[in-house]
């Protein structure tokens, strides 16, 4: 095994000096770290009363990691396959202090590409990892560039200055199909675009107002006018292909007269003045954000709600929505894995952010119960109750499941699209040269993806860092990545992962079980000295595993 991180090494030296072959050190009120006499780390909760999924993470030996859960979680493999828990060296986390530009602009992973250069505002350059444990990347250089306008991205692709683009504009699909020099891959709409309403910010604490918005917006008009082929109206907070969708559940219909009546009954002074926030970033769930915002503004004006539109910088917008600082906003979500927990638990469960305001304990209890059950019929019955409550209580209004696509030059080999938006560029190649250039919608805020939620950041991270498990190229099935195999106990509480031999990080150090433990621990424990990140929110952790150890009071 490699040298231990300094904080662990100092504790181990002290223990050995005292003649203690192993030791347990309380590192926070709810956390205990144990180091064995061979330097193997266990990080554990004192007990499960802190409210999260994980009870302990143990390096059993240099190539084996074991998770003990507080309760069964049937989606656990899908969660440890997500890019926010991509493994980085424990020493790198310590050397960077767990945050700052030294970390979020300098990720160190095990993936097929390594970060070479990030020219802010211009491009991110990756180079092939020649020591990669799997099939080497086909191209020696991978470059990410960005443009917020779909038309600008298409012009670059047509000119041959880039090899692929994300999210062509709705009107560009036929243009690309009819161009023999290009190829189009349509992406299934495993996403949701919604209008969020925060019940802790007036006037959105008024249920009549939230319901009025639901009756006032013609969702079909928005999809027909501003979305590409393959898009559908969203009637629940997940697409119909995701387990947990309730067939036959009637949404609140488009009914402007009902909206006006609800506003009259709301007790609010009419007309109601509100601000609508959004970020000017194209997404599969929202291909034309500015135009859609203006259409919503026009529709709400017809019933007596005057909307002022306010555009925010993308990172600032995401941080503010997570912190519960926005009252009325446009946002969306794409599937990380195909299960209701990735939509409902993430946004309305115990570990959800404050974007909709005060959490609904009745919904949390139902979601917790569903997560502990393996029988799909019983789970679906509980999700049906949640879907009905979300329709009636209106913390948000689902609008659309956006079809989208990726386009490439016709000569790109290995081109594909992923329904999860995590295309694997290492399998693509351009016969004309040794460089692959992809243009996406925007520049990442950072590349320490434990503390990012932006799709542009995650896509880059997925080429650099790798989790224990992952997803098949172009699909949603879980496959081995850094763990070549795993097993779980009959009660579903103990999960044991066996790491591949000989995996090297980009800095030349070898992957071992302690790296896995520390990658998870610094996200898990809010009191850990390395729990820093870019802005410190680590939003995906509570999405996936419900709660932090030593969570600060809200």
Residue 159 and residue 61 share a domain: no
Helix axes 376-393 and 361-371, enclosed angle (nearest 10): 160
Q: What is the CATH number of the domain that holds 280?
A: 3.10.105.10
Rounded CA gap, 508 and 109, in Å? Answer: 10
DSSP state of 470: E
Q: Give CB contacts under 8 A, 24+ apart, made by 230-234.
A: 230/186, 230/188, 230/189, 230/403, 230/404, 231/189, 231/400, 231/401, 231/402, 231/403, 232/189, 232/400, 232/401, 232/403, 233/399, 233/400, 233/401, 234/192, 234/193, 234/194, 234/398, 234/399, 234/400, 234/401
Q: What is the pLDDT of residue 484?
A: 98
Residue 553 lies in a domain: no
pLDDT at 337: 80
Taking Cα atoms as reference points, which of 124, 128, 127, 109 lies closest to residue 481?
Answer: 109
Taking the alpha carbons of 466, 467, 468, 474 in that order, is the dihedral positive or negative?
negative
**Residues across the chain:** 554
**Residue where a domain stops, chosen among 383, 401, 419:** 401
Cis peptide leading into residue 271 (ω within 30°): yes
pLDDT at position 17: 36
In three-state secondary structure terms, 29 is coil
Measured on CA atoms in the order 380, 386, 389, 391, is the torsion positive or negative? negative
Domain match, 228 and 363 both: yes
> What backbone torsions phi and psi does residue 77 show, to the nearest 5 degrees?
-60, -40
Q: Single out the residue in 464, 482, 504 at which a domain terminates.
A: 464
Q: What is the DSSP string of 63-87?
A: TEEEEEESS--TTHHHHHTSGGG--
> Domain for residue 302, yes or no?
yes
Positive/negative CA dihedral, 275, 280, 286, 288: positive
127 and 224 together in one domain: no
Give the global pTM. 0.80
- CB of 440 closer than 8 Å to CB of 146: yes
Angle at 464 between CA 462 and CA 466, to 5 degrees: 65
What contacts 546, CB < 8 A, 6 or more positions away?
A: 51, 52, 53, 345, 349, 350, 351
Are 220 and 361 in a shared domain?
yes
State which residues form the domain around 315. Answer: 191-401
3-class SS at 132?
coil
Please tell me the total count of domains within the chain.
3
DSSP character for 340?
A: G
Q: Are 500 and 133 in contact (CB under 8 A)?
A: yes
CB distance 283 to 332 below 8 Å: yes
Q: Which of 369, 401, 433 is the last residue of a domain?
A: 401
pLDDT at 28: 63
Running DSSP on this structure, what letter comes out for residue 323? T
What is the C-alpha separation between 484 and 285, in angstroms, rounded? Answer: 34
Per DSSP, 429 falls in state: B
Same domain as 441, residue 540: no
Residue 105 counted as domain residue: no
Residue 501 lies in a domain: yes
pLDDT at 25: 57
Residue 554 within any structural domain of the chain:
no
Q: What are the per-10-residue average pLDDT scores of the chain (554 residues)?
A: 48 38 60 94 96 96 98 90 96 96 96 98 98 98 95 97 94 94 92 97 98 98 93 95 93 98 97 97 90 98 98 93 97 88 93 94 95 87 98 98 94 95 95 96 95 93 98 93 97 96 97 98 96 94 93 80
3-state secondary structure of 173: helix
Same domain, 363 and 224: yes
281 and 182 housed in the same domain = no
Domain assignment present for 314: yes
Pairing of strands 164-166, 469-471: unpaired
Report CA Rg, the chain: 24
**CA-to-CA distance for 301 and 298, rounded, in angstroms?**
5
Q: Are residues 247 and 326 in the same domain?
A: yes
Task: Write down the pLDDT at residue 241.
Answer: 87
Which has the closest alpha carbon to 56: 517, 424, 405?
517
What CATH code is carried by the domain that includes residue 457? Answer: 3.40.190.10
Is residue 550 domain-resident?
Answer: no
- Cα-to-chain-centroid distance, residue 119: 24
Q: Are residues 167 and 246 in the same domain?
A: no
Other C-beta atoms closer than 10 Å to the C-beta of 6 total 11
- What confidence score (pLDDT) does residue 363 get? 98
Tell me, yes or no, whether 180 lies in a domain: yes
Cα 210 to Cα 216, 307, 329, 397, 548, distances in angstroms: 10, 14, 13, 8, 31
Report the pLDDT value the prediction gives residue 481, as an integer from 0 to 100.
98
| 366 and 414 share one domain | no
96 and 86 Cβ atoms separated by less than 8 Å: no
Nearest C-alpha neighbor of 338 from the set 238, 194, 459, 473: 238
Other CB atoms within 10 A of residue 220 CB: 12
Residue partners of 138: CB distance under 8 A and separation at least 6: 413, 414, 426, 427, 428, 429, 436
- Are 480 and 446 in a shared domain? no
Q: Which of 328, 307, 293, 301 is nearest to 216 (CA)?
A: 301
Q: CA triplet 17, 20, 24: central angle to 5 degrees?
A: 115
Q: Looking at the structure, tell me whether residues 219 and 258 fall in a common domain.
A: yes
Q: According to the model, what pLDDT value does residue 22 have?
A: 46
């Amino acid at each position: 095994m490699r040298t231990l991180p300094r904080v662990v090494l100092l504790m181990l030296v002290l223990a050995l000096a005292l003649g203690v072959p192993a030791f347990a050190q309380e590192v926070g009120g709810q956390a205990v770290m144990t180091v064995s006499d061979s330097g193997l780390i266990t990080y554990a909760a004192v007990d499960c009363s802190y409210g999260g999924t994980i009870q302990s993470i143990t390096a059993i030996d240099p190539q084996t990691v074991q998770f003990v859960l507080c309760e069964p979680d049937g989606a656990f493999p899908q969660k440890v396959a997500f890019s926010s828990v991509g493994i980085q060296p424990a020493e790198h986390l310590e050397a960077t202090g767990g945050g700052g530009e030294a970390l979020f602009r300098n990720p160190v992973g095990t993936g097929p590409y390594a970060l070479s250069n990030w020219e802010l505002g211009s491009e991110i350059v990756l180079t092939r990892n020649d020591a990669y444990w799997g099939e080497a990347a086909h191209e020696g250089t991978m470059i990410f560039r960005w443009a917020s306008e779909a038309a600008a991205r298409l012009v670059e692709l047509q000119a041959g200055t880039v090899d692929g683009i994300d999210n062509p504009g709705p009107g560009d699909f036929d243009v690309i199909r009819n161009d023999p020099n290009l190829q189009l891959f349509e992406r299934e709409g495993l996403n949701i675009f919604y209008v969020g309403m925060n019940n802790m910010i007036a006037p959105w604490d008024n249920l009549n107002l939230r319901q009025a918005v639901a009756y006032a917006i013609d969702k079909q008009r928005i999809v027909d006018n501003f979305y590409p082929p393959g898009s559908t109206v969203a009637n629940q907070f997940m697409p119909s292909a995701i387990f947990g969708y309730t067939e036959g559940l009637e949404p609140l219909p488009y009914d402007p007269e009902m909206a006006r009546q609800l506003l009259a009954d709301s007790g609010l002074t009419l007309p109601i003045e509100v601000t609508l926030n959004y970020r000017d970033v194209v997404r599969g769930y929202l291909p034309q954000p500015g135009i859609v915002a203006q259409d919503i503004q026009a529709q709400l004006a017809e019933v007596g709600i005057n909307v002022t539109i306010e555009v925010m910088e993308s990172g600032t917008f995401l941080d503010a929505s997570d912190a519960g600082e926005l009252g009325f906003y446009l946002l969306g979500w794409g599937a990380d894995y195909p299960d209701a927990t990735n939509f409902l638990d993430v946004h309305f469960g115990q570990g959800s952010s404050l974007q909709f305001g005060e959490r609904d304990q009745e919904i949390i209890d139902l979601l917790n119960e569903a997560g502990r059950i393996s029988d799909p019929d019983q789970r679906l019955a509980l999700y049906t109750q949640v879907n009905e409550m979300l329709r009636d209580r209106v913390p948000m209004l689902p609008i659309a499941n956006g079809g989208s696509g990726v386009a490439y030059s016709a000569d790109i080999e290995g081109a594909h699209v992923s329904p999860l938006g995590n295309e694997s560029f290492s399998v693509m190649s351009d016969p004309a040269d040794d460089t692959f250039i992809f243009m996406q919608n925007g520049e990442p805020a950072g590349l320490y993806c434990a503390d990012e939620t932006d799709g542009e950041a995650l896509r880059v991270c997925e080429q650099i860092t790798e989790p224990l498990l992952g997803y098949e190229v172009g699909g949603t099935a879980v496959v081995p990545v850094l763990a070549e195999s795993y097993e779980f106990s009959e009660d579903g509480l103990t999960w044991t992962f066996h790491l591949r031999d000989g995996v090297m990080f980009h800095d030349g150090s070898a992957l071992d079980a302690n790296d896995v433990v520390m990658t998870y621990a610094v996200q898990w424990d809010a009191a850990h000295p390395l729990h820093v990140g870019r802005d410190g929110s680590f939003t995906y952790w509570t999405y996936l595993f419900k709660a932090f150890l030593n969570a600060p009071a809200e």
